[in-house]
Amino acid sequence: MKNHMKKIKIITAFLLSLLIAALPLTSRAEDQKPAEPVVKQSAPASAPEPQAQEEDKVTGELDLSVLSAYIWRGYEQTRDSVVVQPSATVSYKGFSVNVWGNLDTRPYSAANADYAAKYTETDYTVSYSRKFGILQVTPGYIYYALGAPYAGGTAPLDSQELFLTLGLDTILQPTFTVYKEIDHYHQWYFLLGASHTIEFNKTISLKLSASASYLLSTDETTYAKYDSNALPTKDKYNNFHDGTVSVSLPITVYKTLSVTPIVSYVFPLCDDARYEMEGRGLQGVTNPSDRNSSFLYGGITFSFSF
């Protein structure tokens, strides 16, 4: 545990020092934040306004990520497997629709079975974003269509969430998002995030980001508190949960094409989170408390915007 905490402190201190050093340099807002509606200004009828025309334009982005792991909210979804995650987003007048998926190229097996690659998840997100001064408000809905982890396996129940994101267009681009599961899993998930992007030139940037979460369960059967042996209890989980720090290097290959290498470190924010993340991790050892609760992974994302 001491080594674990020492590792977190070292990484956190490193990122904070980078952020402080970066403040005097030119920065820009997060690349993937929802499209912002343009406020129309009055103009003569004979002079069409460029901003209004831009607002009426449909925009979009196609992404393809290849990563060494799939970790979701601190939970291990894959082990020793490369994942491929395609994504498509279309936006118009503040409204956005996104479809995201996950392909596990080597599904995990505790018995060392050789499973073929499996498409395990497709998420559908609908949102609307509007800006009020420096405040950006984005409500939305997500449907998680969950497949079996391997051929012949049992698929988890699908999930649905409502969310609301508040973001400030200022230093570190802070965001606060509240997620409420409304289907089977009965929990609230609160996420606080911040990021800073340093532009070295028109082609290469360095992006630093971090987030911290709080998990509030309303049903001990789906999100239970775990004991020190990483076994579920009859209590509901109610505590801080997972933290993430990431470093990425967006590279603009062409006006509409970019490549982004990324490295992320995910870790529990408290002992309750560590026990739960171990207990809900993939089966890999006889003793659940010996499973992983922190994860270092990375990969690359290819993006095309239009």
Other CB atoms within 10 Å distance of the CB of residue 44 = 7
Spell out the domain ranges in the chain. 2-38+46-305
CB 180 within 8 A of CB 158: no
Residue whose entry in the numeric block shows the structure tokens 């690659």:
117
Q: How many residues does the chain have?
A: 306
The pLDDT tens digits for 110-139 are: 888 889 999 999 999 999 999 999 999 999
CB 208 within 8 A of CB 179: no
> Model confidence at 215, in pLDDT bands (50, 70, 90)?
very high
Cβ-based burial of 34 (10 A; exposed 0-12, middle 13-18, buried ≥19):
buried
> What pLDDT sits at residue 289?
81
- The Cα–Cα gap between 70 and 246 comes to 14
Read off the pTM. 0.81
Q: Return all residues near 65 (Cβ < 8 A) that are at least 6 apart.
A: 83, 84, 85, 86, 87, 299, 300, 301, 302
Which amino acid appears at position 41 of this protein?
A: Q
Which amino acid appears at position 270 of this protein?
A: C
- The Cα–Cα gap between 261 and 247 comes to 9
CATH T-level assignment (fold) for domain 2-38+46-305: Porin (2.40.160)
Which has more confidence, 251 or 34?
Answer: 251
> What pLDDT sits at residue 15?
46
Cβ-based burial of 95 (10 A; exposed 0-12, middle 13-18, buried ≥19):
middle
> What pLDDT sits at residue 51?
43
Residue 268 CA neighbour count, 13 Å, CB half: 21
Q: How far is CA 87 from CA 103, 234, 237, 294, in A?
A: 12, 38, 31, 26
Residue 300 is given by DSSP the state E
Which amino acid appears at position 272 of this protein?
A: D
> Model confidence at 257, in pLDDT bands (50, 70, 90)?
very high
> Which of 202, 196, 162 is closest to 179 using CA atoms?
162
Q: Return all residues near 107 (Cβ < 8 A) that are at least 6 apart.
A: 78, 81, 115, 116, 117, 118, 120, 149, 150
> Model confidence at 32, in pLDDT bands (50, 70, 90)?
very low
Q: Return all residues near 53 (Cβ < 8 A) that are at least 6 apart.
A: none
Q: Angle CA(96)–CA(159)–CA(232) in degrees, nearest 5?
A: 135
- The Cα–Cα gap between 270 and 266 comes to 13
Is the pLDDT at 26 greater than 90, yes or no? no
Residue 134 is given by DSSP the state T
Mean pLDDT, the chain, rounded, equals 86
Is the pLDDT at 292 greater than 80, yes or no? yes
